[in-house]
Structure 1
Amino acid sequence: MAKRIRYILIIALTIMVCWAAYAAFFNSHNGQGKAVRGVDTASVKVSAVAGTARRTIPADAWEAPAVNTIPPGNAGEMIRYGREVLMHTAKYFGPQGSIARISNGMNCQNCHLDGGSRLFANNYAGFISGYPKISQRSGKNQPPAQRIVDCFERSLGGTSPDTTKREVKAMLAYLKWIGQGVKKDQKLFGSATERLAFMDDAADPLKGRQVFVAKCQKCHGKNGQGTLSPDKISYTYPPLWGNHSYNDGAGMYRISNLAGFVKNNMPFGATYQNPRLTDEEAWNVAAFINSQPRPHKDQHQDWQNLHTKPIDFPFGPYADNFSEKQHKYGPFAPIKAAHKHK
């Protein structure tokens, strides 16, 4: 009997030691791209990218107002409707739109995540406070409604909505509400997309294709065609190239913008605090996506002042002697250095 008890105790002790070793190994490898069921990601101190520290958000960072604080009455109704149109644009203006059929089927929210409330995802925090302003791209003084028009003609690959109608007025009401309290020229943490450090070499579309297949293809499709929602009116996951994606006049066609966006938001579940791609992977996958075919927009009137033209704008002419290819894929540091000495 005593021998049997000792035998059982030895087995139990062995199991406990093995389990402890497994747990230690598992914890040391946690955060390398796979979600751990039951773990509060806010308490994880290691980024999902192996070997990088978890990034923190400043205490004074902008935070979108809660939706339940939208006021009652007619004003609140306009704000809520504007939010709805921005989040489900295709329902109203897509190929089967109920208001007009003037866009490619993407939603404004595809580039301005969570209704324009997320950090480093093109949020709307400083939108209204920044207008009217002189657009460096057009050289003209723009009201905020013109920025909506630009998005329709570029990111949504379509034509301008009627800016006098209720839909555009409602979008502006929502944009004013979400940016309440933000002052003109106020510096905001997390606005636009993150400016990633330049790589020493050019971004590589071939390496980016490997990232796309491993991390993006499941949602956005083998051919970048996106995933249609069950109602077939809009996309659950937007197309990344092809006829229904943003055209080459969109801000996302500059790979610095796209790289910063995917770094903090892709693949699904990534955040600024817990990115799932390295900077190099973000640059390369952006290069791959923007090397694929998409609609062309005539941009010969854009950036008439060549000295204000972004260094990663992929169409000439330029105020330097670098090629269009280098302006598209990099390396960008030599271009920036050359501009500083002028």
Structure 2
Amino acid sequence: MIDITFSRQLIIIGLLFLMAFSCIDCNNVANDYKAIKPATASNWQAPDTNSLVSTPGADLIRYGKELIINTAKYLGPKGTVVFISNGMNCGNCHLDGGTRINGNCFAMVAATYPKFRNRSGKSESIQFRINDCLERSLNGKKLDTSSKEMAAMVAYLKWLGKDVPKNIVIKGMGVPIVPLLSRAASVEKGGHVFKLRCSSCHGANGLGLLKPDSSGYIYPPLWGSHSYNVKAGIFRLSSSAGFVKYNMPYNAKPQAPSLTDEEAWDVAAFINTQERTFKTFPDDWPMLSSKPIDYPFGPFSDSFSEQQHKYGPFTSIKNPKNNKVALDK
């Protein structure tokens, strides 16, 4: 009887030790998880181009920056290298050479690519993403991935993000989402906003202002064949509204936007209603349920119309995953 009791005591003590060590292990797992969770940083600054003096491949990086800012000069209709784009520059959407916070900043590209994206349904390389933009936002053709120009742009993007760790999330990499309206965006109201706030730079006809030598644009066209086509990310209303509210006019400060939420949604609706190139990418969005709620082309995994998916109101469209505008451009 004594032996049995003693054995039971040993068993109980053993179980207690197991429980204790199990809890320690669980805590370690939890702590490890917390350690690798994405942190948030809002103080990123673009590396100083003066530091390129001692950087390997400095000339290639400088050329990459030049290609981003003045894409049309090299790749446009009168390009000095090849004719594959419509006359716009990558820098028209990726402001200040892709260094402006809330202006489609490139800071996290090096740390996040290769990256799985819902639009293609696969892991994308930086080269794939650059060509995606050339075909959509610049309404052009793919750039040879073995070309010096592709190597230069990739080198520049990697240099911009050279100090960004993979477990850091920097605020303001895309464009902020403007709070959703309870109504559909109004094309008519947006036309008035465009006339008052946008036409002085982009022209009353929205076709932009060409450089004197016609090699590119001083102010880019907002519609027409020399603007982005319907499958560009900025053709989605949330992207367009966020871009114009927090970045336009060009010297706008995100802390003091010149447009109200309603004006931003309405002018985005007006701009994206105008005629532009219709281009098909049949392999887009292989999983219908991953389409953002403001993606305006069917088929959809819900019963809402293309009209509502384009103009809203978006508050009544339930995204299966998170009930908000998805950010996959």
TM norm structure 2: 0.83
Distance 1:300 1:161 in 2: 20
**2:131 aligned with 1:131:** no
Match among 197, 203, 223 for residue 205 of structure 2: 223
Cα offset, 1:226, TM superposition: 0.4
Verify the 8 A CA contact 2:289 2:320 in the aligned structure 1: no
Verify the 8 A CA contact 1:256 1:312 in the aligned structure 2: yes
Report what 1:25 is aligned to: none
Report what 2:233 is aligned to: 251
Distance 1:68 1:263 in 2: 32
Match among 173, 177, 182 for residue 195 of structure 1: 177
SS in 2 for 1:70: helix
Q: Matches of residues 255-294 of structure 1 in structure 2 within 5 Å?
A: 255-294=237-276
Report what 2:21 is aligned to: none
Distance 1:107 1:68 in 2: 24
Answer with 1 or 2: which has the greater Rg: 2
CA gap of 1:183–1:74, structure 2 versus 1, over 3 A, is closer
Distance 1:337 1:159 in 2: 33
Per-residue deviation, residues 95-116 of structure 1 (Å, max 9, x unmatched): 0011110110000000001000
Report what 1:44 is aligned to: none
SS in 1 for 2:103: coil
Verify the 8 A CA contact 1:131 1:143 in the aligned structure 2: yes
**2:288 aligned with 1:319:** no
Match among 173, 178, 188 for residue 206 of structure 1: 188
Pairs aligned (count): 284
Verify the 8 A CA contact 1:205 1:285 in the aligned structure 2: yes
Cα offset, 1:239, TM superposition: 0.2
Q: Residue 290 of structure 1 aligns to which amino acid in structure 2?
A: N
CA gap of 1:340–1:156, structure 2 versus 1, over 3 A, is closer
Q: Residue 298 of structure 1 aligns to which amino acid in structure 2?
A: T
Cα offset, 1:134, TM superposition: 1.8
CA gap of 1:182–1:73, structure 2 versus 1, over 3 A, is closer
Task: Please give the root-mean-square deviation of Cα atoms over the aligned residues, in Å.
Answer: 1.6
* Structure 1: gaps spanning 5 or more residues: 1-57
Per-residue deviation, residues 148-175 of structure 1 (Å, max 9, x unmatched): 0001100000000111011110101100
Cα offset, 1:337, TM superposition: 6.0
* Structure 2: gaps spanning 5 or more residues: 1-39, 324-329
TM norm structure 1: 0.80
